[in-house]
Amino acid sequence: MRWEDFRRSGNVEDRRGGGFGGGGGMGRGGLGIGGLIIVGLIAWATGINPAVLIGGAEILLGDGSPSSQTSPQRQGAPPRSLSAEDRKLGDFAAVVLAQTEDVWKPIFRGEGATYREPGMVLFTGATRSACGAADAAVGPFYCPRDQKVYLDTSFFKDLKRRFNAPGDFAAAYVIAHEVGHHVENQIGLLEKVQARQRQASRSEANALSVRVELMADCLAGLWAHHADAQWRILEDGDIEEAMNAAAAIGDDRLQKQAQGYVVPDSFTHGTSAQRVKWFRQGLAKGSLAQCNTFKGSI
């Protein structure tokens, strides 16, 4: 993926290196070790805070109020003790975020709306968000309560080692997926789904969450469609990298790896095949209307 020569977003808060992003452990209730491993795998791969997963099926659809107090942050403080590799990873994340900004602004403008850019928080080890505490095991996630994407940059290494999904574009796909949740939040989808989930059974609520996640996959593909059309960012093998990453984080594959069997009613993000299908849909069509996972079968 070509990215080095493009602009960096100014909406990045770097909390790495100094530990000033706020720490603290995460409440995990009475869940056993086996359950924590399963939750940790799924949460890391799909961008959902495990504290929210443990609390129920509503995943990233909170009630609008912070689940914990957010520690005051030193805005704009320079990161300390960062290696050259860490600085490069931060630059990469900032470039991908900038490209999502430049793709989504004109799309919203064409619909007569204004795109509000999300923030991105880079952290190491642990930090706090308006959705609660997060540690390195969480990986990238979007918090609708403060409209920020949270990213421990060690996830780039884990994407390769734990999920056998190496490559810049695989990582870019995951970031674009989280920004896809921000788009869903802006168009009012998350609030509507949350209201429906409150009236639904657990399995029905899970099924709604699957549609939310698959739409975010499609929106990530939509970003790639427009970014490549504008800046020719894709290189040989990039699409295969993203497909590999999408397949690696399907509910069925993650559950099989974690516990040896799958429970379809517990799926909250979609199977590997579904995730690949919807990313391809966005990549091929480049249309917001074509990413409506709430219409028809998925």
Which DSSP string corresponds to 136-153?
TTT-SEEETTTTEEEEET
Q: How far apart are CA 21 and CA 128, in angstroms?
A: 7
Can you give the pLDDT at residue 54?
29
Please name which of 23, 149, 157 lies closest in space to residue 89, comparing C-alpha atoms: 157
Sign of CA dihedral 26, 27, 32, 36: negative
pLDDT band at 80 (very low <50, low <70, confident <90, very high): low
The pTM of this model reads 0.80
Q: In what order do the strands lie in the sheet with 12-14?
A: 12-14, 119-123, 148-152, 141-143
**Statement: residue 209 has pLDDT above 70:** yes
Q: How far apart are CA 43 and CA 36, in angstroms?
A: 10
- Tell me the average pLDDT across 261-284: 94
Q: Look-up: residue for tokens 């979609």? A: 270
DSSP state of 77: P
**Chain segment 223-249, per-residue pLDDT in tens:** 999 999 999 999 999 999 898 888 888
**Chain segment 259-270, per-residue pLDDT in tens:** 999 999 999 999
